[in-house]
A and B are shown apart, each in its own frame.
Chain A
């Protein structure tokens, strides 16, 4: 009798183009159908299915050599993909390599955006679903629980998750560097466009204080204000009220500057001790660049934010080697524990 093997079978954005990933995705009832098919598969002792927009991966414990091939056949059958096509995009790993892969996935090292945190929640959800379905056992339980610890460890020990990479989150992080606490921060949203709304929502999610929306068309401002729990004002009223805000998120379609130096200088005379943060997300720009020369005024435009995102991403990527090496040590130790467990559960020869 051969030893049970811990395995991973699946495909991800590294191996499969978007069209094939769409075909493989376990949307709706497909997930339950696969689980049902795998339950009765001979030699498959434990399994969990990780299904995200970038990957479908099945982790399991095979007690017989043919179990993984049987699983692949069931999966291809359900996805209506022929075995040869799947073989070209397939990722199959065994034992310590499979453990290491799971650790890297959970830590965000294998993600399209390196270091993103959403994947850890998705791995946790996959494990919870497998537990609820009763398809996990001592090996998967051990591997997944240790995986969560390892993912947290690598995040605290490396800069893999540091630095925001979306424009909205970067803008909020910059505001925190200026104001420290956003709860007393008054935010003005100029323009009712999508990027402005996203940034305003990012401020809301960090408990920013009073929010006001101004737009050339008042009904647009009122609509967005309702969605954000904000107050609408007319665009014409902005210059007079500018001193009452701390942050301005600008994203109007105006072909010329709508925030000019003289207006900001006048506002700053009324609030000299309080800094002002302008986030200019518009193209063409809404805020006169000369505004940045004023004392206590900070101005970031779309290019500035994009460059920060690039720097942060590069910094994350530069940390991947260190993170991978930390996880390799964890995977080695974890695989040693799993082997002990597997050897302990194996029937004595003879």
Chain B
């Protein structure tokens, strides 16, 4: 399916390029020892988001459902979710360098998934069947991964700022990082939102699983394990048992675990991967 003569992957390439431009603008400013240009970065991210929305819409129309049927689409959708949330969170909290790091992460997720051909394996149309609840479960789960992606970014920024202040390295990139307390506040909020969204997702999914216990396989239990780990991190943070750098490292490690688990969960849905179809071709 095309729009303005361009296929879905072309739009997604353009989106990746947009995020890359945002990252490049920020890097150029930092190399000149200047703060990243907030408006410039924000606008390039908005442009990338719009381009990605078009690409995902075209892919969704082609597969007749939410485009999260293979690893390529999962990574694209996770990046899109992270950006959608950033557009709200970034504008609200105006955290210095947040746009810079978000554009970097989105460029990586978008462009890496585009450059690995095996990830865009063909999958059946309407991959989640006739029940919309399973699609909603999967969509919410991936949206929560987008939230956790932003949480990983704020955690990384927290660790950088702590390192900077502990080791008295205050120039360059470090001089533009937000304060420790701001980063902690936004991290706790993102952790809460991510856990709530993922809980909804698992609650919806569990109704389906109860009726079809045979479909519950070990990779799906990994997702439940990740949810449990995030929930535990949130409860420990609220109880002030897991704070500061330990919380930041935990959030980073959990996001990496979540990313690594995605191919396993995806493979469990598609035990046999058929050869890749041409871009945007309905199967």
Contact = CB atoms under 8 A, between A and B. Distances in A.
**Do chains A and B stick together as partners?**
yes
Interface of A: 159, 174, 176-181, 272-273, 275, 292, 295-296, 298, 300, 304, 307-308, 311, 315
A300 B170 CA distance: 13
A286 B184 CA distance: 29
Contacts of A296: 243-245
Contacts of A275: 180-181, 244
Q: Which 4 A-B pairs have the closest CB atoms?
A: A180-B179, A273-B243, A296-B244, A180-B182
Given A298-B166, A307-B168, A177 B179 contact: yes
Interface of B: 33, 161, 164-166, 168, 170-171, 177-182, 184, 237, 240-241, 243-246
Contact of B171 (A176, A304, A311): A311
B245 A177 contact: no
Contact of A292 (B166, B184, B246): B166
A298 B161 CA distance: 12
A179 B179 contact: yes
A304 B170 CA distance: 11
Nearest to B161: A177
A272 B180 contact: no
Contacts of B171: 311, 315
22 contacts: A174-B165, A177-B164, A177-B165, A177-B170, A177-B180, A178-B179, A179-B180, A179-B181, A180-B178, A180-B179, A180-B181, A181-B179, A272-B240, A272-B241, A273-B237, A273-B240, A292-B166, A295-B245, A296-B244, A296-B245, A300-B168, A308-B170
A300 B245 CA distance: 19
Contacts of A179: 179-181
Nearest to B34: A159
A178 B244 contact: no
Contacts of A174: 165
A272 B244 contact: yes
A316 to B, nearest CB: 12
Contacts, number: 54
B168 A308 contact: yes
Contacts of B243: 272-273, 295-296
B187 to A, nearest CB: 11
B17 to A, nearest CB: 29
A195 to B, nearest CB: 20
Nearest to B185: A180
A304 B168 CA distance: 8
B184 A178 contact: no
* Most chain B CB atoms below 10 A, which of A177, A179, A275, A304: A177
A275 B184 CA distance: 10
Given A159-B33, A177-B161, 10 more contacts: A176-B179, A178-B179, A178-B180, A275-B180, A275-B244, A295-B244, A295-B245, A296-B244, A308-B168, A308-B170
A262 B171 CA distance: 32
A176 B179 CA distance: 7
A180 B241 CA distance: 23
A311 B165 CA distance: 15
Contacts of A292: 166
A132 to B, nearest CB: 39
A273 B184 contact: yes
Contacts of B182: 180
A179 B161 CA distance: 12
A297 to B, nearest CB: 9
Contacts of B178: 180
A272 B184 CA distance: 12
A107 B215 CA distance: 71
A273 B168 contact: no
A174 B245 CA distance: 19
Nearest to B183: A180
Contacts of A176: 179
A331 B182 CA distance: 43
Contacts of B166: 292, 298
A178 B181 CA distance: 6
A174 B31 CA distance: 23
A176 to B, nearest CB: 6
B201 to A, nearest CB: 28
A244 B118 CA distance: 57
A292 B165 CA distance: 11
A311 B161 CA distance: 19
A315 B33 CA distance: 10
A273 B170 contact: no
A180 B186 CA distance: 13
Contacts of A307: 168
A171 B142 CA distance: 43
Contacts of B165: 174, 177-178, 298
Nearest to A177: B179
Nearest to B244: A296
Contacts of A311: 170-171
Contacts of A315: 171
B171 to A, nearest CB: 7
Contacts of A298: 165-166
B35 to A, nearest CB: 10
A272 B166 CA distance: 17
A218 to B, nearest CB: 33
Which of A176, A179, A292, A304 counts the most B-chain CB atoms under 10 A from its CB? A179
- Indicate the member of A159, A176, A292, A307 with the most B CB atoms within 10 Å: A159
Nearest to B168: A304
